[in-house]
Structure 1
Amino acid sequence: MEFSTSARLTIPGHQTAVRDGLRALLDTLLLRSLPEDGRGTAEIVLAEALNNIVEHAYAHHDGEIEISLQLRRNELLCKISDTGVPMPGGQLPAGVLAPHGDCADLPEGGFGWHLIRRLSKDLDYRREDGRNLLSFRLDTKQSPA
């Protein structure tokens, strides 16, 4: 089976474009070639990261999001950049879950960075030349049954 080992996509920084862009990425030969677990992990982490960019970095102005994916052995290298507002304090959110009692009391948001941190490796953020640069690696191996 032949497949591409990389994919690139630039999308506008708004919610509809994220949904369409994620669908386009998941339809690439690169992501279709991954085992189901790896593909699911990529979908979750990319969706969380891209939605955070739209909700926070581009909350008050428009811009584009560039996504670059590269497959190396059993890992997917992901790089996402945007020209939105920098992360507060120039750092990624901690992604620590606050303890909650009743499931009915769970807040709607706040789980994204926890998921991203839990599912990715070598998560890195920096601001360079007016751009937010986020990079991470994802395991693409199938989990043992």
Structure 2
Amino acid sequence: MTETAKRGKFALSFRATELEARSGICAVAQELRLQGVSEDTAGDIEIALAEAINNIVEHAYSGIESGNIRVICSFQQSRLDIRVSDKGVPLPAGELPEGAPAVITDDRQDLPEGGFGWFLIRQLTSDIRYDRINGHNRLSMRFDLA
């Protein structure tokens, strides 16, 4: 894992594996707290980031050689912008999933295995965008800090 930091902005890169992804997510969460982000807000950001990065590990690099994930965090007045990029497979149709909440029934065994992640990400961010540029996936997430 490679990491750079300066006041107001920091970045890191790591391999798209479960173990390195977890280490990368923890490193971002730790840096957020060092930069003065409240515990609750840092926790919400960590959840959204974990969902996004785990999707990259599980889907963008599924069936192909694992590549790198790059995370860039930039503080702007009362918000935090995070850009996550990779060279994996693009999102289906080149668009973010809708992220509608799953219908919950009384029978828990009927709950879908996935589908909650994008809903969580959308709930925890103030803005989210996806682009595929020159073979790179770019997910941009904005978090309000005030």
CA-to-partner distance for each residue in 1:73-120, whole Å, 9 max, x for gaps? 221101010000000000011101231212623233210000011111
Q: How many angstroms apart in 1 are the aligned matches of 2:145 and 2:107?
A: 31
Please list every run of 5 or more consecutive structure 2 residues that lacks an aligned counterpart in the other structure: 1-5
Gaps (5+ residues) in structure 1?
A: none
Root-mean-square deviation (CA), in Å?
A: 1.5
Q: What is the aligned residue count?
A: 138
Alignment partner of 1:90 out of 62, 87, 94: 94
TM-score, normalised to structure 1, is 0.89
Distance 1:31 1:135 in 2: 20
Contact 2:69 / 2:86 at 8 angstroms: preserved in 1?
A: yes
State the match for 2:74 in structure 1: 70
- Answering whether residue 140 of structure 2 is matched by residue 138 of structure 1, we say no
DSSP 3-state at the match of 1:46: helix
Q: Which has the higher contact order (CA 8 A, sep 6+)?
A: 1
Matches within 5 A, 1:50-65: 50-61=53-64, 62-65=66-69
Q: Residue 12 of structure 1 aligns with which residue?
A: 15
Tell me if structure 1 keeps the 8 A contact 2:125–2:142: yes
Secondary structure, aligned partner of 1:93: coil
- TM-score norm. by structure 2 comes to 0.88
The one-letter amino acid paired with 1:43 is: E
